[in-house]
């Protein structure tokens, strides 16, 4: 599998906070409150990453989530009409996300967490369906997994030792 390391400094990255959860831990002196922030970063041009940050303050949790997401940037294969090259189902934990190609003008048809990932990745035309768990973190990670597994026609042709025309036929 191709996982080239992407330098986050070479892109102008946008970020989107998908979810903020308040988590409490019961200790001898009472409850301690902390926050977890699920953040998606990307350049809206084929690069996207998702990360989780945990801290006692919300802004600090978001900053940590952003840093974590930058470390996990992936390259997304896209076709001419700003959709994906082929349909795919991404799975993570109990969540599955079905990504389907769409023609020009369709827009992003997706639920909350999956929509955030696709918008930040720069995909403009796609249809999705979230299957299984609705847990936001797992849906985001399932979408990321699906985008990571996508292959461009050129890549498939190279792997099979054929020309692009033979693969698309």
pLDDT in tens, 1-52: 455 566 666 768 899 999 999 999 999 999 999 999 999 999 999 999 999 9
Give me the phi and psi of 74, to 5 degrees please: -125, 160
Domains 8-74 and 77-168 share a fold: no
Q: Where are the domains of the chain?
A: 8-74, 77-168
DSSP code for 35: E
110 pLDDT band, cuts 50/70/90, is: very high
Edge-first strand order for the sheet with 126-132 is 88-92, 95-101, 126-132, 108-109
Burial class (CB in 10 A: 0-12, 13-18, 19+), 33: exposed
Q: What is the pTM of this model?
A: 0.89
The architecture (CATH level 2) of 8-74 comes to: 2-Layer Sandwich (3.30)
- CA-based nearest residue to 17, from 57, 52, 55: 52
Which class would CATH give 77-168? alpha beta
Q: Which helix (H) or strand (E) holds 166?
A: helix 164-168
What rounded mean pLDDT belongs to the chain? 91
């Amino acid at each position: 599998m191709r996982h080239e390391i992407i330098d986050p400094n070479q892109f102008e990255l946008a970020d989107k906070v998908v979810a903020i959860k308040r988590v409490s831990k019961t200790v001898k002196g009472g409850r301690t409150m902390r926050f977890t922030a699920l953040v998606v970063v990307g350049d809206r041009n084929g690069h996207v990453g998702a990360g989780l940050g945990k801290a006692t303050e919300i802004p600090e949790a978001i900053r940590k989530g952003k840093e974590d997401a930058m470390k996990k940037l992936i390259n997304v294969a896209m076709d001419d009409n700003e959709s994906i090259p082929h349909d795919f189902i991404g799975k993570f934990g109990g969540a599955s996300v079905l990504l389907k190609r769409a023609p020009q003008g369709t827009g992003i048809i997706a639920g909350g967490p999956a929509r955030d990932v696709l918008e930040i990745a720069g995909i403009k035309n796609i249809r999705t369906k979230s299957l299984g768990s609705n847990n936001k973190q797992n849906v985001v990670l399932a979408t990321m997994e699906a985008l990571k597994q996508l292959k461009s026609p050129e890549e498939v042709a190279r792997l099979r030792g054929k020309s692009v025309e033979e693969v698309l036929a």
